[in-house]
Structure 1
Amino acid sequence: MISTTNDNLRMAMLLCFKWFFPFLLSIGSHTIVSGESIKIINWNVLYGFNHHQSVKEGSDWIITKQPDVVAFQELNGIAEEQLEHYSAAWNHPYAITHKETGFPVGLTSREPIQVIERNQEGGHHGYLHCRTYGMHFFVVHFWPGVFFEIDRVMVKVRKLLEEKQKVVILGDFNGCSRKDTDFLKTNTTLRKIDFEFVDRVEAAGLIDLVHKHDPSAKVSCPSPITIPKWTATMQELKMKQYRIDFIFTDSSLAENSISGSICLDKEIDTISDHYPVIVELNR
């Protein structure tokens, strides 16, 4: 009788070990992953990668950068399933868009994406609020001079900041930063300048990571792809160039950030009128 009891006890212990050992390994694995960095790209891809003419070139460029998360604006004509198909090429099995008509924004990630809100109410573009890598991502594409959308976003952002959540706001702001004022004056810009979008984000304490790490980076658009349709000459192009694409994070993420830059690779000149913004953070 005692032998049978001992055998049963040993069997129970083996079963516990069988089921719980993988769980313990996964905890250790997660601890290792949480210490790694995360690379994020934001990119306005001009009517769905130059009207779908440069999808492969855009995908190939993303592959070379090996990002963990990519946010997009102007995914025109690209449904969520199609974006998921494209993103598989850069090893992102998860892809989300906020709508399928007009000017969609989207997000792809190596890790699962929790969709919190696909906002399309009243705005020309709308925005996407998702969570991945333990961070809240607001993918935005603001309409020039229309501020109710940024106000909606910031109400949610302030609440998350009060809760000590990790927050990233990224996208095409269609507005400038006051930190670029000297460049805009020197460049004799032909653009109408609007600081309001960035002002409202920075008023909540969020940090512009490109300015933090590369304050000399002042141009995110347009690229030469706009010649001759929207821009006559290279001289005119330079007078139109400014920075309207941003990645902002809460102060805690910013403090632990590694880098922030605007990628001016020549390949971009035939893919989009916007240059991608790239940041790297410690998780």
Structure 2
Amino acid sequence: MKNINKLFVILLCIICYSCSDSDDGNDNATLGKLSVYLKDTEGKPVKDAFVVMSGLEKNRVITMGEGLSDVNGKWLPYYKGSVDGYISVVSPKYEPCKERFSYDGKYETKLEITLKSTESISVLSYNVLNGFDNKVNKKQRFLEWIQTYDPDIMLFQELNNFTEASLLEFAKQYGHEYAYITKETGYPTGLTSRYPITDVEKVLRGSDPNIYTYHGFIHAKCQGIDIFVIHLSPFELKDRITEITNIVDKKIKQLPADAKVLVAGDFNSYNAYDAKAYGPKFETERLKFSPTVTFSYEVTDFLLDNGFKDAFTLYSNGHFKQSIPVSTTEFPENKGCRYDYIMLNKNLANDCTYSDVLREKTTNVLSDHYPNYIRLNIKKISLSFFYLNLIHAPFIEKTFYD
């Protein structure tokens, strides 16, 4: 009998030990800790870098945590458990990076990331919903948030309630000395930069009988790039197709063959690349949310067929991030999609070194769209070089009015 009792105790201990060594089915199990350490190329810790941890749900990228690195370059995610996804890091003095990682959640793990000094040009495109709803607190929050990304070129849609003068005043608060806006009524597009903007062309509805545009668009040159900031019609598909066709055929194709071209903004259009992330009833459910935007890939397909690359897809590894709608919680697969893009022609696409859709706590509340952010590895044109050449090539601004 004693032997039987001993055997029972031994078996019970083995079972208890096995259970304690596994997290499966045990909500109280002790989870491991993931630590992210950031350093520069000299091995020094990088303080106040912005870190975002994302996981994958099928092929959808889901934000799971964010924060700033401490004085030791360390960031600890609040989330505990297994993660398969990305760690993204942005800091104004360094090149951004996006590291693919997988963590089982059971053991203490240290992820070290080395950041390189920044050399590339950064571009951020953002639909800011009725000019930040003309609210002072939203504008102030944007000014605080934008310091993390410190873009060289900023592209806006829906600059409602801004004038060109007030946009310049606003831009100076984040270090940009140049600013242009298509118009001062309705839903304007615009751009700002820390570098000179030249050859500004503002095209509005009715200004040119050969070019149809709904909200209007702005075309300008900055740092050797031909930039088109657009906001296509939110209503008729045929109007969006006409708009993008006019921009490509009557503007972009008239540029020199070696022109580096960037087309960015709110396209109000879907993209076939994202189809694998849609649920089985996506079209029906999405149209309930946005009934005026016909489900079609024709607009984005037209640009892709004309040699443009969707910047987000260059570094998304086949995964999906929505740009609309925003939410503080993850929304169903039948709601999220992309309307917002940065498209690069073949002369510029090879210069793209980083791209992302910025889903964060702050961008959850600033607008109903998420911004797009890219980095371009092109040689920056210095101000001294620009002003020297300006003597021989005067600044030109062309404005077409309604």
State if a TM-score over 0.5 links the two structures.
yes
Q: Distance in 2 between matches of 1:151 and 1:39?
A: 27
Matched, 1:98 2:193: no
Q: Distance in 2 between matches of 1:253 and 1:47?
A: 31
Q: Distance in 1 between matches of 2:331 and 2:224?
A: 43
Matched, 1:256 2:351: yes
Q: Distance in 1 between matches of 2:314 and 2:331?
A: 29
Equivalent position amino acid for 1:142 in 2: L
Q: Which residue of 2 aligns with 1:124?
A: 214
Matched, 1:40 2:130: no
Are the equivalent residues in 2 in contact too, given 1:263–1:275 (CA < 8 A)? yes
Aligned length in residues: 240
Equivalent position amino acid for 1:181 in 2: A
Determine helix, strand or coil for the equivalent of 1:201. Answer: helix
Matched, 1:199 2:301: yes
1:109-153 CA-to-partner distances (Å, cap 9, x unmatched) read 111111432111243201110100110000000014112211221
Q: Distance in 2 between matches of 1:235 and 1:133?
A: 38
Are the equivalent residues in 1 in contact too, given 2:147–2:174 (CA < 8 A)? yes
Q: Distance in 1 between matches of 2:303 and 2:278?
A: 20
Equivalent position amino acid for 2:121 in 1: I
Cα distance, 1:64 vs. partner? 1.5
Q: Bigger relative contact order, structure 1 or 2, given CA contacts below 8 A and separation 6+?
A: 1
Q: Which residue of 1 aligns with 2:210?
A: none
Mean Cα displacement is larger for which, 107-116 or 39-48?
Answer: 107-116
Determine helix, strand or coil for the equivalent of 1:116. Answer: strand
- Alignment RMSD (CA, Å): 2.0
Q: Distance in 1 between matches of 2:135 and 2:199?
A: 26
Q: Distance in 2 between matches of 1:222 and 1:51?
A: 20
Matched, 1:281 2:384: no
From 215, 218, 221, the equivalent of 2:321 is: 218
Determine helix, strand or coil for the equivalent of 2:282. Answer: coil
Equivalent position amino acid for 1:132 in 2: C
1:207-233 CA-to-partner distances (Å, cap 9, x unmatched) read 1110111142330011138xxxxxxxx
If each structure's helix is expressed as a fraction of its own residues, which one has the higher value? 1
Q: Which residue of 1 aligns with 2:57?
A: none
Q: Distance in 2 between matches of 1:115 and 1:237?
A: 44
From 233, 239, 242, the equivalent of 1:148 is: 242
Q: Which residue of 1 aligns with 2:69?
A: none
Q: Distance in 2 between matches of 1:244 and 1:168?
A: 16
Matched, 1:110 2:194: yes
Equivalent position amino acid for 1:217 in 2: F
Equivalent position amino acid for 1:282 in 2: N
If each structure's strand is expressed as a fraction of its own residues, which one has the higher value? 2
Q: Which residue of 2 aligns with 1:244?
A: 339
Determine helix, strand or coil for the equivalent of 1:106. Answer: strand
Write the mapping of 1:155-174 to structure 2, written as runs, cut at 5 A.
Answer: 155=249, 156-160=251-255, 163-174=257-268
Larger radius of gyration: 2
Q: Which residue of 1 aligns with 2:229?
A: 139
Determine helix, strand or coil for the equivalent of 2:320. Answer: coil
Q: Distance in 1 between matches of 2:155 and 2:128?
A: 10
Determine helix, strand or coil for the equivalent of 2:245. Answer: helix
Identity between Structure 1 and Structure 2 (%): 32
Are the equivalent residues in 2 in contact too, given 1:39–1:68 (CA < 8 A)? yes
Equivalent position amino acid for 2:315 in 1: H
Equivalent position amino acid for 1:182 in 2: K
Mean Cα displacement is larger for which, 94-103 or 42-51?
Answer: 42-51
Cα distance, 1:237 vs. partner? 6.3
Mean Cα displacement is larger for which, 245-254 or 179-188?
Answer: 179-188
The two structures have a TM-score, normalised by structure 2, of: 0.57
Q: Which residue of 1 aligns with 2:154?
A: 70
Q: Distance in 2 between matches of 1:63 and 1:237?
A: 31
Structure 1 residues 82 and 206: alpha-carbon distance in aligned structure 2, compared to 1, 3 A threshold? same
Q: Distance in 2 between matches of 1:129 and 1:238?
A: 35
Matched, 1:182 2:289: no
1:231-252 CA-to-partner distances (Å, cap 9, x unmatched) read xxx6866532111110011113
Equivalent position amino acid for 1:198 in 2: T
The two structures have a TM-score, normalised by structure 1, of: 0.79
